[in-house]
Amino acid sequence: MDYRPLDSSTMKPGEIRDHIWTTLSQYHVAAYPLPPYGHHPNFSGAAEAAKKLLEYLLNEKVISAGQTVLCYPDYVLKPVRKGLLEKGLKVVVPAKYGKGFRLLEPDKVNLSQASSIAGAEKEGILIKTLTHIDFAFVTCVALANSGQILSKGYGFSLPNELDVLSATIIHPMQQVTELKTRIEVQFWATPDEVIDKMRAEI
């Protein structure tokens, strides 16, 4: 199916979010947790998108075993977290309670359990502040061709002082024509393709 990006040029952020959530629901693309409203939505094909994204980033040596990456805690990124740990990367996720983070070291955790947020709380090492981060995996409600992303409007967000490359996974129905937001990603993947914004700009 050919998905055309939503013309978001005259839409407010709240209108864009509601449109994306409703569209994913109407076409039965949204996946657990349901309904998608208020979430960075999970979607059918997220595991395939995660696999494609990680294969690309590893093959292109954007990330590599032994590095430490930040990953948003949303359910949609569970296959990303599991894949990262399987490939030997350390994963940092925001702690579920209070301020701080959980550090997941692949040789010290149960990979399947640690990829969930509840599992990360049990298996991860609590750290108060972010140390060196090599890359970030973020989530969004909508993504523009520029790489700018629109969040759900609350919850954890990439710290301003963290200047690293970042990536996300989306369903094609989450694509919009334009956004005016602070955070943008350089890589993103759908179940069908990977987009490398930096390569496209060369």
Q: β-strands 90-94, 68-71: how paired? A: parallel
Rounded to 5°, the CA angle 39-48-5 comes to 60
Q: 135: closest CA among 79, 53, 190, 76?
A: 53
pLDDT tens digits, 188-199: 999 999 999 988
Over the chain (202 residues), the average pLDDT of each successive run of 10 is 85 96 96 95 97 97 97 95 97 86 93 88 89 94 96 82 92 96 94 89 41
Grouping H, G, I as helix, E, B as strand and the rest as coil, residue 126 is strand
CA 57 and chain centroid, separation:
14
- The domain 45-197 having CATH identifier 3.40.50.620: the answer here is no
Helix H or strand E encompassing 169 = strand 166-169
Give the predicted TM-score (pTM) of the model. Answer: 0.94
| Chain segment 35-79, per-residue pLDDT in tens | 999 999 999 999 999 999 999 999 999 999 999 999 999 999 999
Sign of the four-CA dihedral 116, 118, 122, 126: positive
Report pLDDT for 1: 61
Gap between the Cα atoms of 150 and 179, Å rounded: 7
Quick one: pLDDT at residue 158? 81
Cβ 110 vs Cβ 97: under 8 Å: no
* Cβ atoms of residues 188 and 152 within 8 Å: no
